[in-house]
A and B are shown apart, each in its own frame.
Chain A
Amino acid sequence: MLVLAGVAVIALGFLLRFNPLLVIVVAAAVTGLAAGLDPLAVLAKFGHAFNQSRYVTAIYMVLPVIGLLERAGLQERARGLVGGLRGLTVGRLLAGYLLFRQLSAALGLNAVAGPAQTVRPLVAPMAEAAAARQGEEDGEPIRALAAATDNIGLFFGEDIFIAIGSILLMRGVLEGYGVRVEPFQLSVWAIPTAIAAFLVHGARLWWLDRRLRRRTR
């Protein structure tokens, strides 16, 4: 039970809005102490895992390209794209992006889109421009919704692809219990939730359009 002290540190630290990096390091130290581990062994484990997960941080190498294009007016160009399409609302735009993200993730193409690659330079400015035309002046919740739509599309599309990490993990764990399943059997069971995700989030987007329409009337 004592090892849960680290979890408590995380919860309290985030709740009280301390710097998250500090909270994480303290939580690791507290967990190690509570489990009676050697502090140096905990530090070594922490360093090892940090080194092994560098690929997460490598994605920032796209920033020079995004920065270069934004400097030349990419966001403005993306906004202009919306101006040419009269019937395009923020809800329809994001629903279309949701579908694209789910389908491409289902084909295993996770890195085709993402917050740095597509949301910041293209989707968020387009969504903001569409929402502004519908009378929404505050861009912040619209940008947040664009990032949310990207995550939801990715999470509830990728498990349909049979060679994704989570499918391999599930297969490995089940095999540990002597249960053999084919990746295909697992990916089929991701389809109902993928459809539900599109319906739930799509309904919210439709609702947003409706709310904006009523407000301006």
Chain B
Amino acid sequence: MIGLNLVYAVAGVFFAACALLGAVDRRWANALFHALLALSFFAGDAIGDLGNGVLVLALVATATSGRMRRGEPEAASEPHGPLLALALVIPAAALGGTLLFKRLPTLIDSQQATLVALTLGVLVALALGHWLLRAPPLAGVRAGRRLLDEIGWAAIMPQLLASLGAVFALAGVGDVVGGLVGGAIPAGSVLGAAVAYGLGMALFTIVMGNAFAAFPVMAAAVGMPLLVRQYGGDPAAVAAIGMLAGFCGTLLTPMAANFNIVPAALLELRNRYGVIRAQAATALPLLLFNVLLLWWVIR
């Protein structure tokens, strides 16, 4: 069945090509970083958990050595060719493929339909682009390597944070935080409980970078025992609004690197926290809205 295997193979080929091109250009640290990434995508399932752990340490050592160089800028030519149409190939393939592949569950893993469709869209767009723009064969990979170098070490930060979350879970960090928040609520106050639950979701999401990690903890500490059982709130509303309060936290934290740090690198912002700064004035009023909505629903 076609699923993540295809996705990881294509990504692995891209990283391996970046490593080779980097070696040709004598950008050794960048080449090593990309070679380790390619190894992870090709052989991650074969080298065992400890092997992956060592691989991560090698990636981090390379990234923090200070020897990785930024991508070199390349002047764009005068616009030529059907560029906007080509730019829409990937989104269109992701959309069409998702709808189509869900109907082919024996051929394509329906859990991964969107990622598979996106991957095929990339291959089609790359082939069409080279053909219609009459670009030299390696032009796409070369330009992609330059962009990846622009993102630099931030590229693996989202994956590292997911791993940190797993260690937090193993060590029981969530239970401790849940106990602290649960103990801070004044007895008998619906508003107090709603505030503790909503702010707790946001704060714990800021720490973990992920509302998914915060939800089970806050549900256990405040959501279920107080808001639902004691004050009779609708469990569906308590769960859904709590999750959205957590999303407000996601907008405020560098721990949510794929949403907040990687785009800052991709858009070549001078301030690493520029995206978070742009989001704060929306996230904070929205967090207040969610807490009040929660209070209104339960009251």
* A141 to B276 Cα, complex, angstroms: 11
Total contacting residues, chain A, CB less than 8 A: 112
Which residues of A are found within 8 Å of B177, using beta-carbon distances? Answer: 4
Give, as a whole number of angstroms, the nearest-CB distance from B173 to chain A: 5
Residues of chain B from 262 to 299 with CB closer than 8 A to chain A in the complex: 262-264, 266-271, 274-275, 277-279, 281-282, 285-286, 289-290, 293
Residues of chain A lying within 8 A (CB to CB) of residue B30: none
Shortest CB–CB separation between residue A142 and chain B, in angstroms? Answer: 9
**Chain B interfacial residues counted at CB < 8 A:** 134
Contacts A22-B64, A24-B157 given: A200-B286 contact, CB under 8 Å? Answer: yes
Chain A, 116-140, CB within 8 A of any chain B CB: 116-122, 124, 140
| B contact set with A: CB distance below 8 Å | 4, 7-8, 10-11, 14-15, 37, 40-41, 44-45, 48-57, 60, 63-64, 74, 76-81, 83-84, 86-87, 89-91, 94-95, 98, 114-115, 117-119, 122, 125-126, 129-130, 133, 135, 139-148, 151, 153-168, 170-173, 176-177, 207, 211-212, 215-216, 219, 224, 228, 235-237, 239-241, 243-244, 247, 250-251, 254-255, 257-264, 266-271, 274-275, 277-279, 281-282, 285-286, 289-290, 293
- Min Cβ gap B269→A in Å is 6
Are B143 and A64 within 8 A (Cβ)?
yes
Q: Please, could you name 7 A-B residue pairs with CB atoms under 8 Å apart, sorted by A?
A: A1-B176, A21-B64, A53-B158, A56-B158, A70-B76, A80-B79, A181-B235
Considering the chains assembled together, what is the distance between the CA atoms of A28 and B80 in angstroms?
49
- Closest Cβ of chain B to A127, distance in Å, is 11
Say whether A179 contacts B262, CB under 8 Å: no
